[in-house]
Amino acid sequence: SSGYLEYDQDVLLPKDWTHVGRVDPSEEVELTFALKQQNLELLEETLRLVSDPGSAQYGKHLSLQEVASLVRPSELTQKVVRRWLQAHGVSNCRTVRTQDFLQCTMTAEVAEVLLPGSRFHRYVRDRRSIVRSSAPYSVHEEVHQHLDFVGGLHRVPPREKDVRVKHRPSKGEV
């Protein structure tokens, strides 16, 4: 109703992260904006063809430049997102060759205005400290349709990867 829309978001932080407190508004955060790509059906079909040994296209892989030509966000998407960021004074951004990600650095204060609803806090686990938002963010409806999600707000590194060292079992356990 306010002209802002939310994405589907995974807000809940695992309980093993300890809340330290709100970050200072002047602290920098880096957010990753995933811009809407084009031709995704064609990308999927191309992948099917180049990976299917029964296809004449099998093995005819694309270069990064060709992938970029295929999925690069539309001029409109790029313009709308950049204009939105600039309007909030966010100019420290870098893109990638496929132009479908923008990584921007800004203060937490600016980020919270840019993404209404977000509130940045610091959390610690073991010796690791991270800054994440405790609440879902929204973006203006004009921008919403041009983004897939904004990264750097919610997801945290897992505690362990898929490896373990087991103890030698005792005879009783066996």
Which positions touch other proteins (CB under 8 A)? 7-10, 12, 28-32, 34, 37, 40, 43-44, 46-48, 50-54, 59-65, 67, 71, 96-98, 100-101, 103, 105, 120, 122, 128-132, 148-149, 151-155, 157-158, 161-168
End-to-end CA distance of the chain: give it in Å, rounded. Answer: 62
Nearer to other proteins, 80 or 121 (CB): 121
Nearer to other proteins, 62 or 135 (CB): 62
Residue 146 CB, shortest distance to other proteins, in Å, is 13
Residue 84 CB, shortest distance to other proteins, in Å, is 18
Nearer to other proteins, 89 or 157 (CB): 157
Q: Which candidate, 35, 31, 28, places its Cα nearest to that of 103?
A: 31
Residue 4 CB, shortest distance to other proteins, in Å, is 16
Contacts of 54 (CB under 8 A, 6+ apart): none
Rounded distance between C-alpha atoms, residue 89 and residue 110, angstroms: 8
| Phi/psi of residue 22, nearest 5 degrees | -70, 145
- Tokens representing 102? 């923008």
